[in-house]
Amino acid sequence: MNAIHTEALTKRYSNGRGCSDVHISVREGEAFGFLGPNGAGKSTFVKMLVGLIFPTEGRASLFGEPAGTVAARRMLGYLPELYRYQEWLTGEEVVRLHAKLVGLGRDETNRRVPELLERVGIGLRSRDRVKNYSKGMQQRLGLACALVGDPRILFLDEPSSAMDPIGRSEVRQLLHELKAQGKTIFLNSHLMEDVESLCDRVALLNNGTVLQQGLVSDVLQQRPVWKLRIGGFAPALLDWLRVETGLELRVVAAESDGSAVLEAQLESEEQAGWLHSLLIGQGATLYESTKSRTKLEEWFVTELAGKSHRGEKL
């Protein structure tokens, strides 16, 4: 069963923003990255799924239940992007309030709340009023609230945007644990490294419409780029290699002492080994050979290059 399924989901605002005709399916246990520039409509889409706003057209369901209904909301945890918790409550009281709202019993609440507060890193300050929390602390608290009902699906809208590098790393680790537990994760984030490391599939939204979606591995399927640092380089060697291999080779850097860095797009490690042997056979010295993949960030920038954005410029 699909954890999330939308058909032509559309929200139109009078200012022309929102999102339109979004078709997305996310399987149970999958981590799904929802990407797009600022103002693309990502948060609008998530708000429709969690029942905060109502679609203008189209349908959405969570585990078969219409999005926004109490039955659908029973299965989700949500960390909004722009939110504030009740400043007059302590962190622990906020999580306890959410525990009551999701229907946890007293014993379960007493067991789960301190455990979660500890897990998200605010155990020591759980008795402080929320008004004294930094933005990063509030984001940790938000994660605890999202997780308190042990939801089947988690909607996280920029879950670590206000955190320091340690906090981000902890959140990344937590999300990997949750994924390993079989939770479905819907992640809105500008932190491409997090999306790349966590998500199985991604969708790219621009101006409210989905430009592309698919497996992260497919998106990054472009041939890996290899960089070879060699000695004894001469321009004639490059010409010979191009003719001999038929590969696209280029010089990234060349020094007067004969050392140089070559770059080639190769299909396999065998092909790399063959290139290495050809270089050595021609009398060159191979100092280093490294493979680098295309980053999701590069894909993001490339896909949106030349397209208009209604938010900020990329």
Helices 135-147 and 165-180: angle between axes, nearest 10 degrees: 10
Structure tokens at 56: 């203008």
Helix (H) or strand (E) holding 73: helix 70-73
Out of 23, 57, 64, 101, which residue is the one contacting other proteins (CB under 8 A)? 101
**Nearest Cα to Cα of residue 77 among 135, 3, 180:** 3
Euclidean distance between CA atoms 205 and 37, whole angstroms: 8
Out of 98, 140, 168, 201, which residue is the one contacting other proteins (CB under 8 A)? 98
Name the segment binding other proteins (CB under 8 A); options: 65-73, 167-175, 204-212, 257-265: 65-73
Min dist. Cβ of residue 93 to other proteins (A): 8
Name the segment binding other proteins (CB under 8 A); options: 29-37, 95-103, 117-125, 288-296: 95-103
Min dist. Cβ of residue 225 to other proteins (A): 42
Euclidean distance between CA atoms 26 and 22, whole angstroms: 13
Out of 23, 38, 52, 273, which residue is the one contacting other proteins (CB under 8 A)? 52
**Is residue 70 part of the contact set for other proteins (CB under 8 A)?**
yes
Q: How many residues bind other proteins (CB under 8 A)?
A: 29
Min dist. Cβ of residue 193 to other proteins (A): 26
3-state secondary structure of 115: helix
Euclidean distance between CA atoms 214 and 125, whole angstroms: 41
Min dist. Cβ of residue 296 to other proteins (A): 27
Euclidean distance between CA atoms 56 and 63, whole angstroms: 21
Min dist. Cβ of residue 248 to other proteins (A): 50
Q: What are phi and psi of 82, to 5 degrees?
A: -110, 105
**Nearest Cα to Cα of residue 1 among 29, 24, 22:** 29
The smaller minimum CB distance to other proteins, of residues 97 and 254, is found at 97
The smaller minimum CB distance to other proteins, of residues 79 and 304, is found at 79
Helices within 78-228 (DSSP H only): 91-101, 106-119, 135-147, 165-180, 192-198, 216-219
**Is residue 84 part of the contact set for other proteins (CB under 8 A)?**
yes
3-state secondary structure of 76: strand
**Is residue 272 part of the contact set for other proteins (CB under 8 A)?**
no
Name the segment binding other proteins (CB under 8 A); options: 19-27, 99-107, 236-244, 278-286: 99-107
Min dist. Cβ of residue 77 to other proteins (A): 8
Min dist. Cβ of residue 72 to other proteins (A): 8
Binding mask 107-146 for other proteins (x = CB under 8 A): -----------------------------------x--x-
Euclidean distance between CA atoms 233 and 256, whole angstroms: 10
Could you tell me which residues are beta bridge partners of residue 6?
Answer: 24, 60
**Is residue 50 part of the contact set for other proteins (CB under 8 A)?**
yes
**Is residue 54 part of the contact set for other proteins (CB under 8 A)?**
yes
**Nearest Cα to Cα of residue 35 among 152, 195, 159:** 195
Could you tell me which residues are beta bridge partners of residue 250?
Answer: 263
Min dist. Cβ of residue 186 to other proteins (A): 13
Q: What are phi and psi of 246, to 5 degrees?
A: 70, 10
The smaller minimum CB distance to other proteins, of residues 39 and 232, is found at 39
Binding site for other proteins (CB under 8 A): 47, 50-54, 70-71, 73-74, 76, 78-80, 82-86, 88-89, 97-98, 100-103, 142, 145
